[in-house]
Amino acid sequence: MDASKKDGTPVPVEVAITVLPDEEGREQLYVVWRDISARRKAEQKLMESLREKEALLSEIHHRVKNNLAVISGLMQLQIYTTEDEKVDGILNSSINRIKSMALIHEQLYQSENFSNISLKENILKQAESIKDVFIADDTPSVKLNLELEDISIGINQAMPVGLLVNEILINAFKHAFKGKDKGEISVHLFEENSRIHLKIADNGVGFEPAEEESGSLGTTLIKTFADQLEANLAMENSQGTTYKMSFKRSEVKGSVASYNI
């Protein structure tokens, strides 16, 4: 509350009221008024500093997102100058990985809380974006089934999760439905027993054991991102391909640049 000096100047004060008995046993109220001007000023400076840091973080994530978009654009221009389909495929895969990272930074820029990223929102946007890339008249019709709980995690886990989802979905769209007219991809996200569970499955042609063991870049990246999350990862090849992953929520701070990709 505020009190006033003799000249009418308001002063923030803290009031403490104590009930104590007097010499005759009657209860008396003892009131102590304490000037907290210095503490109030310190709190204001702290809040101003916090707002400045939040604005700076927001600007950093915005610029990172824009820089990633520039890199992606340059790679797209490179695609237009080459007639090598293998090179096109490599560049397109890299562009999608860059878009996945840019999406994380876009979420952070738009968020009021820089410590949490919505996995549900991230997976929804990624799945629709990747589906749009692979839609063409001569490609199978693929239906997306998404069952996603609203789960938020920090950027140090959100980045490898986003990249892992990107790799699995692209592999499914590119390879799962060869020779088929249509297909289905399902993504299930939920939290149970203090662990986050992610299941991505398709009803496509599956993969041959030799293909999985060949060490393709996509497979290597999936395993690398799972290792970064210290996740349990299992792959099944029954009536399509299924990836099951679970990991414990981590509050570890630091830079995602420290990850080895």
How do 232-236 and 182-192 pair as beta strands?
A: unpaired
Q: How far apart are CA 220 and CA 215, in angstroms?
A: 6
Token code pair at residue 8: 């009418």
pLDDT tens digits along 111-145: 766 668 889 998 998 888 888 877 765 678 889 99
User: Dihedral of CA 246/251/256/260: which sign?
Assistant: negative
Convert the pLDDT of each residue in 2-57 to its tens digit.
Answer: 666 666 678 787 888 888 887 777 888 878 878 878 888 888 888 887 777 777 77
Which of the given ranges, 54-68, 73-87, 224-238, has the highest pLDDT on average? 224-238
* 199 DSSP β-pair partners: 188, 244
- Give pTM, 2 decimals: 0.68
**Mean pLDDT, residues 51-65 taken together:** 76
What is the rounded distance in angstroms from the CA atom of residue 11 to the CA atom of residue 2?
5
Q: What is the pLDDT of residues 181-235, one digit of tens each?
A: 889 999 999 999 889 999 999 998 876 554 554 457 778 888 999 999 999 999 9
**Cβ-count burial of 8 within 10 angstroms (0-12 exposed, 13-18 middle, 19+ buried)?**
exposed
Please report where in the chains the tokens 């203090």 appear, as a residue: 194
As given in the structure block, the two tokens for residue 16 are 């403490």
* Residue 259, number of CB atoms within 10 A of its CB: 15
Q: What is the Cα gyration radius of the chain?
A: 28
- Rounded-to-5 percentages of helix, strand, coil across the chain: 50, 25, 25
Which backbone phi and psi does 189 adopt, to 5 degrees? Answer: -125, 125
